[in-house]
Structure 1
């Protein structure tokens, strides 16, 4: 009996120690991706401000780590609004596998994406991609399959009308563009891998402007829930934006978690983020577009109770949801 009590006491002390020294992983895509840079900046800021242990956890793609969030094996992760919807409902690349334990922490920044082509390419529009070599599959970064479908649909084109080149993720697709193995590749705005390709390719690359009309907007949202078309103007701060305007797909990036992450952990993260935009932006410039007041957005995925508590204190939780 005494031995049993000693063992139990030891287990309690061990578990308590693990709890006090918990490390919270933030799942992202691989290095060179926008998600990775965001996750690294968020981890760094949380460690510096709170003294608690956060670390960026890169994976091949978000479709790889979202199930880990659902199963409680990872604390946080980044996802676009469309993929969060697919994962929660068990649709598309999550067909038959509902991730009902997913919870939203908040919308972080909007991001823009379109197809890029070599600067001297004869491709001027989405319609010109017909018959061209395009990355396809995105088996380890499946969200780009839906970005691709949405971008092509804006020009009433589909991937089967192109020459498909199986590619695991968007970073590999950019590598293929650099090596002239594909004619176009999706590039999120100002992503590190895109800037590298711009410097590596002899004449650089430029974005294709998507169609922007009522039918195109319907097709884009149909292929990637929460996506919209926005117009960007050329600027030294916007790598690859040449045509004025350049129409691109815009989607909100969400920070998500699992239902079993303690309320106080999520609450503290939200409040720390909201109070430290400057520190986040210093670590990664994209956080200059982060607006704490915009963290609450409509989505089928429910918000984490810890986040809701923070938003109520911030006065931005919708009155009808209280």
Structure 2
């Protein structure tokens, strides 16, 4: 009788939703990428601070998991502002496949990226990459195809003027740089794969400083929507920054969600993030750049209703 009673209580609890909490997945690029580290840290903090279960879900690239969010098969993911725009409108690498169910949760950090070359390389500026071995394709992480186009365009170049070396994603391209199979590779600031390459290369690597003329800035934003050129000064905390200043491409990195994720879940996530910046920073240092007050930025992709509710309560909604 006691066994039957226990079973009935368990069934009742399951029906009322008071047992196993739903698990929410955060799509990221593969391990070693900035997105993966951001997602792992966010999952950790959300599990610690809420009654919900979160887990990081690595994929080959954001062009793989964004359609999953659009189809309701994945709750959250990371995307830069340019790729989010392409995905929502069905342009470029999402040509003819508009992801109209994509919604913004908010800007997590802005990140800087440029081409990196071995310290002893004779390449001093982007145009010096003409006829050099440069990663191309990025079929599993297509957003770096547009990063590459934007960086090359800053010095009036295209990928066809280089010796193209197909690479599936930016992590493999960084590995190719470390193994001397390419002459340059795009490395996001302080990404784990870049630090690993720095440690394994005999003399390490350094960033190329981009041209920051008006024409260069326009070329960058044309090739990668929401991208801009910023100046970064050398600092021990900024791996590979040697030239003073080093001009790099900066893009906002968004946390995005599927439209069918409940308003309550997204609302809770935003409020938890906004009140736990120190915990996020402790989980992953890049969150030192996270500012809740800057989570709302202009983009063609609409914000999730749950996020809008949270931002209005926080006083951050300026749309």
Normalising by structure 1, we get a TM-score of: 0.94
Matching residue of 2:274: 274
Q: Distance in 2 between matches of 1:268 and 1:136?
A: 40
Q: Distance in 2 between matches of 1:165 and 1:63?
A: 20
Aligned to 2:90: 90
- Once residues 184 and 18 of structure 1 are traced to their aligned partners in structure 2, the CA distance between those partners, rounded to angstroms, is 53
Q: Kindly tell me: are residues 209 and 19 of structure 1, through their superposed partners in 2, closer, same or farther at Cα, counting changes over 3 Å?
A: farther
Return the offset for 1:51: 3.2
Q: How many residues align?
A: 310
Aligned twin of 1:296:
296
Cα gap change, 1:314 to 1:116, in 2 (>3 Å): same
Distance 1:195 1:44 in 2: 23
The question of whether the paired residues in 1 share the 8 Å contact of 2:21 and 2:51 is answered with no
What pairs with 1:83-232 in structure 2 (closer than 5 Å)? Answer: 83-232=83-232
Match of 1:311 in 2: 311
Provide closer, same or farther for how the CA distance between residues 18 and 76 of structure 1 changes in structure 2, counting only shifts above 3 A.
farther
Aligned to 1:25: 25
Question: Which residue in the other structure is 1:285 paired with?
Answer: 285
Taking the aligned partners of 1:206 and 1:91, their CA distance within structure 2 comes to: 33
Q: For residues 92-118 of structure 1, what are the alpha-carbon distances to aligned partners after superposition, in whole Å with 9 as ceiling and x for unaligned?
A: 000000000000000110000000000
Are the structure 2 counterparts of residues 205 and 18 from structure 1 closer, same or farther at C-alpha, using a change threshold of 3 Å? farther
User: How far apart, in 2, do the equivalents of 1:312 and 1:190 lie?
Assistant: 33
Unaligned runs of 5+ in 1: 1-9
Contact 2:13 / 2:19 at 8 angstroms: preserved in 1? no
Q: In 2, Cα distance between the equivalents of 1:267 and 1:155? A: 43
For residues 163-198 of structure 1, the C-alpha deviation after alignment (integer angstroms, 9 at most, x for no partner) is: 000100000001110111100000000000000000
CA distance in 2, matches of 1:180, 1:212: 29
Quote the Cα distance in structure 1 between the aligned partners of 2:15 and 2:257.
22
Q: 1:20, CA displacement in angstroms? A: 5.5
The structure 1 segments of at least 4 consecutive aligned residues displaced by more than 2 Å after TM superposition are: 10-20
Q: Following the alignment from structure 2 to structure 1, what is the Cα–Cα distance between the partners of residues 137 and 281?
A: 33
Deviation readout 1:11-33 (Å, 9 max, x if unpaired): 99867659952100000000000
Q: Tell me by how many angstroms 1:157 deviates.
A: 0.3
Give the Cα separation in 1 of the matches to 2:209 and 2:198.
Answer: 18
**What is the TM-score when the length of structure 2 is the normalising length?**
0.95
The alignment partner of 2:229 has SS state of strand
CA distance in 1, matches of 2:11, 2:85: 39
2:257 aligns with 257
CA displacement, residues 278-309 of structure 1 (integer Å, 9 cap, x when unaligned): 00000101100101000000000000000000
In structure 2, distance between residues paired with 1:254 and 1:12: 39
CA contact (8 A) 2:296 2:317 kept: yes
Q: Kindly tell me: are residues 112 and 19 of structure 1, through their superposed partners in 2, closer, same or farther at Cα, counting changes over 3 Å?
A: farther
Q: Distance in 2 between matches of 1:12 and 1:253?
A: 42
In structure 2, the partner of 1:3 is none
**After superposition, what is the alpha-carbon deviation per residue over 1:217-243, rounded to whole angstroms, capped at 9, x for unaligned?**
000000000000000011000000000
Root-mean-square deviation over aligned CA pairs: 1.5
After superposition, what is the alpha-carbon deviation per residue over 1:259-290, rounded to whole angstroms, capped at 9, x for unaligned? 00000000000000000000000010110010
Q: How far apart in 2 are the matches of 1:316 and 1:207?
A: 35
- Separation (CA, whole Å) in 1 of partners of 2:306 and 2:43: 19
Mark the CA change 1:82 to 1:18 in structure 2 (over 3 Å): closer, same or farther: farther
Distance of 2:181 and 2:51 partners within structure 1: 46
Q: Secondary structure at the match of 2:127?
A: helix
